[in-house]
Copies of this chain bind each other. A is one copy, B any other.
Amino acid sequence: MRILVSNDDGINAKGILHLVKELKNIGEVTVVAPLTEQSAAGHSITMKVPLRVTEHYIDNEFFGYAVNGTPADCVKMGIKNLLKEKPDIVISGINNGSNAAINVIYSGTVSAAREAAIMDVPAIAISVTDHHPKHFEYAAKLSAKLAKLVCANKLKTGTLLNVNVPDLPEDEVKGVMLTKQGRSKWDDYYEERVDPYGSKYYWLTGQLLIQDQDDDKDQIALNNNYASITPIHFDLTDYEMFEQMKSWDIDTLKLNV
């Protein structure tokens, strides 16, 4: 199995080390990851400045390619320019912090996997729920097992799997659940501060409001100490609203009649 690995915490993050170590047991791994942390990069790509690629070594051994761009850049660059053959799967992570519910939208980790899905390559994004996780072992092992399951079962073109794992020792994770993206979102605001020169600046801060109740939502599965697997795609059309809007008087919008 040819596996392309990326992340959003940067090529020096602990999570990607754990992931690569485990995946080397099941396939040929190439790492293409951001040079610097790209948390909350969303699906941004770099168009207005050139990208650079540097070889990254750990203990004098080649580890992978570092790109001065976003997670989505890394996957695009990996598949288009750096790999000789299309990978069988792209795995992005292991992220420091949950990418469940609304965090899916902001996540660079998920966007790296989504870029792969756009390029017709099966993909998995994997995250552990704490910003300073203590337990990567379960997530690493689950990635390897799930990669094999994905290759055996096939994902729909354009679909990726968003996986979140509670930050717990292996024997405390209750199991794995198939879930839907939850609606829990941030109650956040910008905290106003004053710098040493008397000028105002703002830090984003807040807390996640749990607004889900159903057991099959990603956020609730995690709260119940289950690992969560959510299939997501990149067609954002709201088909229900599309049908409703047929009764809107769209014709009144015509300007030139």
Question: Measuring CB to CB, which residues of chain A are less than 8 angstroms from any residue of chain B?
Answer: 37, 39-48, 50-53, 70, 72-73, 76-77, 80-81, 102, 104-106, 108, 111, 114, 118, 138, 141-142, 145-146, 149, 153, 155-156, 158-159, 170-171, 173, 175-178, 180-181, 183, 185, 188-190, 192-193, 199-204, 227, 229-242, 244-246, 248-257
Contact = CB atoms under 8 A, between A and B. Distances in A.
Contact of A253 (B44, B149, B237, B253): B149
A236 B233 contact: yes
Nearest to A173: B256
A224 B200 CA distance: 49
A44 B40 contact: yes
B138 A204 contact: no
Contact of A240 (B105, B111, B156, B249): B156
19 contacts: A42-B42, A50-B202, A50-B203, A52-B202, A53-B202, A73-B204, A80-B190, A105-B236, A138-B255, A141-B255, A159-B238, A171-B256, A173-B256, A176-B254, A178-B248, A230-B237, A231-B238, A232-B237, A233-B236
- Number of copies of chain A assembled together: 2
Nearest to A257: B175
B111 A42 contact: yes
Given A44-B106, A76-B188, A106-B43, A181 B246 contact: no
A41 B44 contact: yes
A200 B55 CA distance: 13
B180 A77 contact: no
Given A231-B238, A241-B159, A145 B255 contact: yes
A53 B255 contact: no
A181 B235 contact: yes
A103 B15 CA distance: 30
Contact of A156 (B44, B232, B244): B244
B242 A238 contact: no
Nearest to A115: B105
